[in-house]
Amino acid sequence: MTFSELHTYLAERFTVEAVTANFLPYLTVQAEELVALGQFLRNDERLFFDLLACVTAIDNGLEKNTMEVIYNLTSIPYGHDLMLKLTIPRQNPADAQALPNVPSLSGVWRTADWHEREAFDLVGIHFTGHPDLRRILLPTDWEGHPLRTDYQEPDRYHGISTK
């Protein structure tokens, strides 16, 4: 199935937009539809995206005031790939001090578990419904999320220089 065919097929059911100006085309998706879309992509007989290969999180900075979560999917039996991109506000609209929220896909693809934990740990995105959202790379008492553009690295951590 070509990217154009895939976009048409999904657009009949979900709010998705195709972006083809980049080297790799992708679909933009809405947070409210993410889990249902994921289930459809995995379960539909024409698609069968059985592998969530990667979840990436990007902080677009204070000027844009957005973050992105990017999902790379593969259908092993059909040999097609798909990139989904979700753009969210940098701050949680309900609470400016809380982390931005995205629904977890760990109930759709088990591989999302560790990918989402990494995005949480390094970029500070909260994945709602994740069964065990805790730090995976940094110590549990680390403050902040080091891949945020406004992150301030501490001079010391437990008496050890971080510089």
Question: 127 to each of 1, 2, 15, 62, 86, how far by Cα in Å?
Answer: 30, 30, 21, 21, 13
Q: What is the pLDDT of residue 22?
A: 78
Domains of the chain (ranges plus CATH)? 3-144 (3.30.460.80)
Position 64 pLDDT exceeds 90: yes
Comparing 6-10, 19-23, 68-72, 85-89, the range with the smallest average pLDDT is 19-23
Residue that is written with structure tokens 């154009």 in the block? 4
Comparing 6-10, 67-71, 85-89, 155-159, the range with the smallest average pLDDT is 155-159
Q: pTM for the full model?
A: 0.93
Q: Would you list the DSSP string of 75-140?
A: ETTTTEEEEEEEEEESSBTTBTTSPPEEE--TTT-TTHHHHHHHHHHHH--EEET-TT---SSS-T
